Amino acid sequence: MTEPEIVPVALTPEQVRARRSRNIALAVILFAMVALFFAMTIVRLGGHAMDRI
């Protein structure tokens, strides 16, 4: 039994540019969210948060 040949999808230059733009935006948003949730956690813990560890 032979495995069916998998032909990769060939993206057009426009599709590559669009995907790259979406990926960069998503990466920036994810890092910003991590920073924001970290900052808000510190704010909600209040002053001297590190002393509680």
What's the alpha-carbon Rg for the chain, to the nearest Å?
Answer: 22
> What does the binding site for another protein look like in residue numbers (CB under 8 A)?
9, 11, 14-15, 17-19, 21-22, 24-25, 36-37, 39-40, 43-44
Q: Smaller CB distance to another protein: residue 1 or 4?
A: 4
Least distance from another protein to the Cβ atom of residue 22, Å: 5
- DSSP 3-state assignment of 46? coil
Least distance from another protein to the Cβ atom of residue 38, Å: 10
Identity of residue 29: I
| CB proximity list for 19: less than 8 A, separation 6 or greater | 11
The tokens for 47 are: 């002053």
Least distance from another protein to the Cβ atom of residue 51, Å: 19
